[in-house]
Amino acid sequence: MSLVDEIKLSARAGKGGDGVVRWHQSRPNPKGGPAGGDGGRGGDIKIRAVRDIMHLKKYKGNTKFNAEDGGAGGKNSLHGADGKSITIDLPIGSLVTLVKAEKTFELLKEGEEHIVLRGGIGGYGNEHFKSSHNVSPTESTEGKKGEEDTLEIELRLIADTGLVGYPNAGKSSLLNAITNAHAKVGNYAFTTLDPNLGDLYGHIIADIPGIIEGASEGRGLGYKFLRHINRTKALIFCISFEQDDVVSAYRALLAELKAYDEELPKKPILVALTKSDLVSKAEAEAAVKIFATKSLKAMPISVHEPQSLKSLTDTIITLLRSLG
C-alpha cells in the first residue's frame, strides 16, 4: 500500500442567512407589527477521523469544500433554515493545521471529530428590533460570513513499527516478504518515494523511504518521511551486509534519527542485517555478537532464506505484544 501523506484543502463555512423586514398582515390591519424572521446559521466545516489510511487520495481531485449558507428569515417571524455542515473524513494520525488561524488539530482515535471552521450567525429580522420606543422597526441585518481557511493536512502514520535504513538496504523487499504489501522494489537508490505499509498478523509495519548521512542537511530525501515513525512502538533498523562496516552504518543512521528527534533512539530497536546471503555464516554470526555487546538484538536476514524470515517475524510479534 502506498499513500498520499500531505495535502492542502481550501474550506469555507457557510454564511449566515439575512434577516428580513416583514409585517403581520390582516384585513383589519394590513400593516401590523413587525414579523421579519432572523436568518439561519451557516453550516460548519468539521473533520472526523476514519480508519482508512488511504482516504487522503480521495481529495487529490477535490480540494475545495464549502458548507451551505444559512437561509434567509421568513414572514410571520419564521427563522431561516440553518445551512448544512460538511464533514471531511481524514485518516487516523492526521495533523490538521489552519494556516490563517494558526490552529492545529490532531486526530488520534477513530470517530474523533472537531469543528474547525464555524458558520456565520444569521442576521436579525425587523422583529428583533421591536421595542416600546420603536414599534415599527424597518431595519434588518445581513448574516455574517463563515470562517474560511486553508487546511494543511499531514498524515503521521500510527504504525506499530517502522523499517528504517539506507537506500537499497532491502526494506521494501523485506516488507513484501513478511506482510501482504506489494511495495515497489528496484536496484537503485530511493526506489521508495512514499511510505509503504504491510500487515503482519494485525500489526502494521511501515517502510520509511531511505535515509542517508546528511539527511539533516537536506541531502537525499531529507527528513520528509521520518514523522511517520514518531508514533511507532519500536524501530527495525535494516542494515545491509553490502555495507563495509555494518556497525558504523548503524551508528551513522542512529545519529541521523537523533538529529531529527532525540526521543526516537529511545524506542525499542531491533537490527535486521539484510542480504545475509552475501556473506558467510561465520561473518554473519560475528556481526550479531558485536551488536550483542551493545545490548542490541541483531538478526541476519535474507528474503531468499524462509527460516530467517520466520525467525524475524516471530521476534517482531513477540516484541510488539510485550509493548502492548
Domains and CATH numbers, the chain: 6-155 (2.70.210.12), 161-323 (3.40.50.300)
Strand order in the sheet with 203-207: 196-200, 203-207, 161-165, 234-240, 269-274, 297-300
pLDDT at 219: 44
Closest CA to 89 of 118, 43, 56: 56
SS3 at position 174: helix
**Strand, coil or helix: 62:** coil
Q: In whole angstroms, what is the distance from residue 7 CA to residue 108 CA?
A: 18
The answer to whether 120 and 70 have CB atoms below 8 angstroms apart is yes
Q: In 3D, which of 309, 310, 234 has the Cα closest to residue 274? A: 309
Residue 260's pLDDT is: 81
Closest to 152 measured CA to CA, from 3, 2, 5: 5
The pLDDT, as a whole number, for residue 159 is 80
In terms of Cβ atoms closer than 10 Å to its own Cβ (0-12, 13-18, 19+), residue 31 is exposed
β-strand pairing of 45-50 with 113-117: antiparallel
pLDDT at 2: 52
Question: What's the pTM value of the predicted model, to 2 decimals?
Answer: 0.69
324 residues of the chain, pLDDT tens digit each = 456 678 999 999 999 999 999 988 766 666 678 999 999 999 999 999 998 878 888 998 899 999 999 999 999 999 999 999 999 999 888 999 999 999 999 998 889 999 999 999 999 999 999 998 898 899 999 999 999 999 999 887 778 898 888 877 888 889 989 987 665 554 434 344 466 788 888 888 888 776 645 444 444 434 556 767 777 899 999 999 999 999 999 998 898 888 888 888 899 999 999 999 999 999 999 999 999 999 999 999 999 999 999 999 999 999 999 987
Tell me which DSSP letter residue 279 carries: S
Contact 16, 43 (CB under 8 A): no
C-alpha cell at 180: 501482504
pLDDT value of residue 9: 97
Amino acid 305 reads: E
Handedness of CA 214, 219, 221, 224 (dihedral sign): positive
